[in-house]
């Protein structure tokens, strides 16, 4: 028996572009919501033009083949509407009458000029949940400033604690994350907020406005590092891949590559030393406890690096696995998608397109025992479902 997805029947309007908003809407689509993406005629979402890379090397329809667009728009319907003219605005208003959720990431105040803000739409549909995603939120001195992921990583402190430690490597300095973490975390927080508002609506019968800020999310995500500063007033510095709370915890160079290691307690440290052939370092009083290892890290670190340099990544990994010490090779993406655990968890989906070609994409990581997760669908063509919306919410 095939069970319906968890959000079956939920109607979502996606008025957002680029990453945070579209990804939040895609999460809802994966969980079974009917997501209608409203795009600009002729151009669509900005990321339709963020290519190459294309899905196929000989893409004949560039707007339909952007890998970036496909990363956060699968499973949606696409409708084109120009909200700068009456007919486009009226179309969105009519669709909002039947919608449960609307997600938008326009600059503060923009949609109010078109009568598509929460206060206006909620008059006709008081059950509407309206999620606004901006760089800095709907209030505060920065509310009208544009905000992108890397700008927020900089302002929100992430770049100050990311990268090689000063004087430890040539070119050391603040570094952005390798993926757009502020955008992605905001998408996750937004989807959680939307689901919470849906739950609350069951008792109140009313929707509500949700105000999501990339900067807010980035500051919240500082977690223990942020709390450490608030508790002590001490500004943290970059430590590269080393953790500030335990040691050994760092990347180490082997004969043929790099490995990441975290030794979480003193018992693990003893097993680690045995596995790496440096049992004498476990008996050394300077390194007997985590606190003393942190105190004497400059003495311990080069001794450990000598031990790793004598072994291959494979040999180190096997030795550490055998004694239950957490370690992992620094995989490039080719290695990631060949990893047997990634394969076993089915983290790549293959989707058939209308022309018969196949596209590989990343799976949704949610696994539910009964509810189907619909992450094997493709992204829509620009305006593919516009004609279906002539008489209301478009049906598949």
Known catalytic residue at 301: no
The pLDDT assigned to 169 comes to: 61
**What average pLDDT score do residues 151-158 get?**
97
**Backbone torsion region of residue 277, taken as left when φ is above 0, otherwise alpha when ψ lies between -120 and 50, otherwise beta:** left
Structural domains in the chain, CATH included, are: 11-220+345-389 (3.40.50.10540), 249-253+258-329 (3.30.1540.10)
67-113 residue pLDDT tens? 999 999 999 999 999 999 999 999 999 999 999 999 999 999 999 99
**What average pLDDT score do residues 186-197 get?**
98
Give phi and psi for 132, each to the nearest 5: -100, 130
The pLDDT assigned to 1 comes to: 43
pLDDT class of 166 with cuts at 50, 70, 90: confident
Per the CB < 8 A criterion, the answer to whether 70 and 359 are in contact is yes
The pLDDT assigned to 354 comes to: 77
pLDDT class of 296 with cuts at 50, 70, 90: very high
The pLDDT assigned to 396 comes to: 64
Cβ atoms within 10 A of the Cβ of 58, count?
6
Torsion of CA 74, 75, 78, 84, to 10 degrees: -70
Residue 292 has pLDDT above 60, yes or no: yes
Residue 265 has pLDDT above 90, yes or no: yes
The pLDDT assigned to 355 comes to: 76
Cβ atoms within 10 A of the Cβ of 9, count?
10
How much of the chain exceeds pLDDT 90, in percent? 86
Q: Is the dihedral of CA 112, 117, 119, 124 positive or negative?
A: positive
Instruction: Tally the residues of the chain.
Output: 396
The pLDDT assigned to 390 comes to: 76
Per the CB < 8 A criterion, the answer to whether 163 and 175 are in contact is yes
Catalytic residue among 183, 216, 250, 375: 183
Look at 50-64, 339-353, 374-388 and tell me which has the smallest mean pLDDT: 50-64
Per the CB < 8 A criterion, the answer to whether 259 and 251 are in contact is yes
**What average pLDDT score do residues 224-243 get?**
93
The pLDDT assigned to 250 comes to: 95
Tell me what the pLDDT averaged over the chain comes to.
94
Tell me whether the omega of the peptide bond preceding residue 53 falls within 30 degrees of 0, making it cis.
yes
Rounded-to-integer distance, Cα 96 and Cα 393, Å: 9
Residue 345 has pLDDT above 70, yes or no: yes
């Amino acid at each position: 028996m095939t069970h319906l997805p968890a959000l079956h029947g939920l109607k979502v309007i996606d008025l957002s572009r680029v990453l945070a908003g579209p990804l939040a809407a895609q999460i809802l689509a994966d969980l079974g919501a009917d997501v209608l993406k409203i795009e600009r005629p002729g151009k669509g979402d900005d990321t339709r033009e963020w290519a190459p890379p294309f899905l196929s090397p000989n893409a004949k329809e560039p707007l339909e083949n952007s890998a970036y667009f496909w990363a956060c728009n699968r499973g949606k319907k696409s409708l084109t509407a120009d909200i700068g003219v009456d007919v486009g605005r009226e179309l969105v208003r009519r669709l909002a009458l039947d919608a449960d959720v609307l997600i938008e990431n326009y600059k503060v105040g923009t949609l109010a000029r078109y009568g598509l803000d929460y206060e206006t739409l909620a008059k006709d549909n008081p059950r509407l949940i309206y999620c606004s995603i901006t760089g800095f939120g709907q209030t505060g001195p920065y509310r009208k400033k544009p905000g992108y992921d890397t700008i927020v990583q900089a302002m929100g402190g992430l770049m100050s604690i990311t990268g090689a430690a000063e004087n430890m490597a040539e070119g050391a300095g603040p570094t952005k994350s390798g993926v757009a973490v502020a955008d992605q975390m905001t998408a996750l927080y937004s989807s959680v907020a939307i689901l919470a508002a849906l739950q609350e609506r069951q008792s109140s019968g009313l929707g509500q406005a949700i105000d999501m800020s990339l900067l807010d999310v980035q500051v919240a995500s500082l977690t223990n590092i942020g709390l450490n500063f608030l508790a002590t007033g001490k500004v943290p510095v970059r430590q590269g891949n080393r953790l500030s709370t335990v040691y050994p915890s760092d990347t180490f160079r082997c004969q043929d590559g790099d490995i990441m290691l975290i030794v979480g307690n003193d018992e693990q440290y003893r097993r680690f030393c045995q596995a790496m052939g440096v049992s004498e370092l476990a008996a050394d009083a300077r390194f007997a406890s985590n606190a003393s290892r942190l105190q004497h890290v400059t003495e311990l670190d080069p001794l450990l690096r000598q031990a790793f340099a004598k072994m291959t990544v494979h040999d180190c990994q096997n030795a550490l696995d055998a004694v239950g010490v957490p370690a992992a090779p620094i995989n490039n993406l080719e290695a990631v998608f060949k990893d047997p655990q990634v394969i076993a968890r089915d983290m790549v989906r293959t989707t058939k397109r209308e022309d018969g070609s196949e596209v590989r994409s990343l799976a949704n990581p949610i696994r539910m025992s009964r509810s189907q997760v619909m992450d094997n669908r493709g992204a829509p063509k620009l305006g593919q479902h516009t004609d279906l919306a002539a008489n209301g919410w478009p049906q598949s």
